[in-house]
Amino acid sequence: MDGQSSLGAFLQARRSRLRPEDIGLDTYGERRRVQGLRREELALLAGVSASYYARLEQGHAHHASPEVLDAIAHALTLDEVERRHLHDLAGAAVRRRPARRPPPERVDPATRTLLDSMPDVPAVVGGRRTDILAWNPLGHALFAGHLDPLAPDRPADRPNMASLIFLDAHTRDLYVSWEDKARAVVGSLRHAAGRHPGDALLAALIGELSMRSAEFATMWADHRVRQCTVAEHRMRHPLVGALTVSQQALRITDDQTLLVATAPADSEARTALRLLAQATATATATVTATATHEAVGAGGVPRP
């Protein structure tokens, strides 16, 4: 979907969810044939002509001023994240840059040091397309213990959080309220798509998920935009059972976030995380000892 089509689809979706009573518009009991506000009503609220607003939704209007976009955002009762998304879509409609394949994302040494410095907190570094770029052992154990712990180090094999949420049975079962987590992931992808309309890999991911998951396709068509910061999630982990954690996304760069999972001190969830950390440390020590024994037995020299 190009910039103009994305802009029009977003405007139509948001207008259809805004009811006349939400803005104090008296319909005098008339039967309405459209869901939400009419174009003319939204244009009146925004202070623009009905014909100009119609051209915006139809993808025929270019170079909308920031002031007009802000007026439309106010009329649609958009929040700040949604308002910025509207500006991103309008900018993409003007630029119309061809899609390109971006280089692999990388995690800088300082971020890896940060991960290593917090062994008792599950932590994952996510990229612009929700690719998992790095994790610490506890982050791997909590969110994707069934996957290869070294997968994020290989760009071609990196797990993708959106794909895991919608297509991986293990990850789906982790969340008691799976739909809440799924909608948050879709909203985050919408935000990324507005900021990076020319990202061919992002477009391919969205296309694949739309083809393989009817639930994703339905949520994507809703055009909700979210930039998740903090959310509480109830999880059911196969090793430590039920726990409720606060998942907080901390922005590292414009395109990378550090997702951490925390629980209050002396809570059952904190105890569960400690048990998971102990199990992770034991498993790591066992694997290391086995590898060392095999190397020595084969006449090898163990690494320092």
249 and 168 in a single domain? The answer is: yes
Residue 154 lies in a domain: yes
Separation of alpha carbons 204 and 106, rounded Å: 20
Domain boundary among 46, 69, 95: 95
Furthest-apart CA pair in the chain: how many Å?
Answer: 89
18 and 132 in a single domain? The answer is: no
Partner residues linked to 248 by β-bridges: 230, 260
264 and 117 in a single domain? The answer is: yes
pTM of the model: 0.76
Give the CATH number, domain containing residue 31.
Answer: 1.10.260.40
What pLDDT does residue 97 have? 58
170's tokens: 């293990």
Ranges in the chain, pLDDT < 50? 1, 288, 291-292, 303-304
40 and 118 in a single domain? The answer is: no
What pLDDT does residue 273 have? 95
Residue 137 lies in a domain: yes
210's tokens: 């739309």
Strand duo 132-135 + 123-126: pairing: antiparallel
162's tokens: 């959106």
121 and 67 in a single domain? The answer is: no
What pLDDT does residue 113 have? 95
What pLDDT does residue 99 have? 57
131's tokens: 């690719």
91 and 131 in a single domain? The answer is: no
197's tokens: 């309309």
Residue 277 lies in a domain: no
Domain boundary among 95, 125, 142: 95
What pLDDT does residue 61 have? 62
State the total domains in the chain: 2
What pLDDT does residue 303 have? 46
Domain boundary among 95, 129, 163: 95
Residue 101 lies in a domain: no
189 and 86 in a single domain? The answer is: no
Give the CATH number, domain containing residue 229.
Answer: 3.30.450.180
Q: What is the DSSP letter of 155?
A: G
Residue 273 lies in a domain: no
What pLDDT does residue 93 have? 61
Query: What are 101-136's pLDDT values in tens digits?
Result: 778 899 999 999 999 999 999 999 999 999 999 999
What pLDDT does residue 83 have? 86
Residue 59 lies in a domain: yes
147 and 247 in a single domain? The answer is: yes
15 and 77 in a single domain? The answer is: yes
214 and 131 in a single domain? The answer is: yes
**Domain that includes residue 64, residue range:** 3-95
Residue 289 lies in a domain: no
**Residue partners of 300: CB distance under 8 A and separation at least 6:** none
46's tokens: 């925004």
Residue 196 lies in a domain: yes
215 and 142 in a single domain? The answer is: yes
32 and 135 in a single domain? The answer is: no
